[in-house]
A = this chain, B = another copy of it.
Amino acid sequence: MNKQVKLSKRPIGVPDESTWTLETNPIPAAKEGEVVIKQEYISLDPAMRGWMNDMKSYIPPVQIGEVMRAGSVGTVIESKHPHFKEGDVVSGWGGVQQYIATNGEGFYKVDTNLAPMPVYIGTLGMPGMTAYFGILEVGKIKEGDVVLVSGAAGAVGSIVGQIAKIKGCTVVGIAGGPEKCKYLTETLGFDGAIDYKNGNVRQGLKEHCPKGIDVYFDNVGGEILDLALSRIRRNARIVICGAISQYNNTTPIKGPSNYLSLLVNRGTMQGMVVMDYTKDFGKAAMDMGSWMAQGKLKSREDIYEGIENFRDTFMRLFTGEKMGKLVLKVSE
């Protein structure tokens, strides 16, 4: 049977027990031109929270009654499609379900000899691509820049920081808890880490970025964005990738009070959506794969099991109780 998580009610604030329902349906069959994929891993990303709101965005919202949208990786178990064959491992937008029948649109083959499956929804998937294009194309880092990244131990932030190190920047990460901070400096080679759960971020920024910040890659928004703005240098770039601190708000989003620092410092704040860079994913994957092979880029996945645990696992994104890329294993 095929267990599927469907959106049953739009959450106001934190998603709860009534937000999704778990359905069990027959495993679909492939029609002409389709494949059936047995999904192994589902990607859990902060952006998913945004897709649940009924508002105009860069992608249509998930509709009530639809399978919850998610990136995934799995194995083709039946193919009536010219480009895929049984046994192919593919990644795409499979949603939170164990099986999917699809015409293959948006799915592409991946090579598990080069990297294990979960990496293809992490460092070599959307989060990694977001980091790559965000820090290089939007952040426009150059050697010697001071780069600050929030959500630094997460799927995107950890890659942002490592790419910035590869490019010769000084990199400071903001993360929650001593374990994550230690991981940033000792394992990933960040120059500094600030523990926002157990320290004073303002003071940490003074200590770790005494000359200010050239590039801030923002995954969190809220107070931390304001603190970063207060320390930007001339011509600084702020990459707006996300605002996880604000996604479950029931009150209006906190806008950055210090945004006039952009004026004083001739700064730029720019938003990004990874889908815009699709045509260059190939080149990015080659760079990233090569850095991984050289040991310069480390990928860490935090894998939980059981589609029944989707909500509890998803909520770890917001509590921070996870390390690296959050993944749910849905195959049984």
A residues adjacent to B (C-beta < 8 A):
56-58, 221, 226, 240-243, 246, 252-273, 276
Copies in the complex: 2
In the bound complex, how far is the Cα of B57 from the Cα of A231, in angstroms? Answer: 12
Q: Which of A57, A226, A252, A266 has the most CB of B within 10 A?
A: A266
A134 to chain B, nearest CB (A): 11
Quote the shortest CB–CB distance from A160 to chain B (angstroms).
15
* B255 x A258 contact (CB < 8 A): yes
Interface centre among A56, A58, A271 (most CB of B within 10 A): A271
Task: List the 7 closest pairs (A to B, CB-CB), nearest first.
Answer: A255-B255, A263-B271, A262-B271, A255-B257, A255-B256, A269-B269, A268-B270
The residue from B256, B262, B272 contacting A266, defined by CB atoms under 8 A apart: B272
Please measure, in the bound complex, the distance between the C-alpha atom of A53 and the C-alpha atom of B30, giving whole angstroms. Answer: 69
Residues of B with C-beta under 8 A to A276: 266
Residues of B close to A258: CB separation below 8 A: 253, 255
Q: Name the residue on B nearest A257 (C-beta).
A: B255
Contact B272 A269 (CB under 8 A): no
Minimum CB–CB distance for A269 against chain B, Å: 4
Contact of A255 among B58, B240, B254 (CB under 8 A): B254
Query: Can you give 10 contacting A-B residue pairs, CB < 8 Å?
Result: A58-B263, A246-B260, A254-B257, A262-B270, A263-B273, A265-B271, A266-B270, A266-B271, A268-B271, A269-B269
Q: Contacts A273-B264, A276-B266 given; indicate if A240 touches B259 (C-beta within 8 A).
A: yes
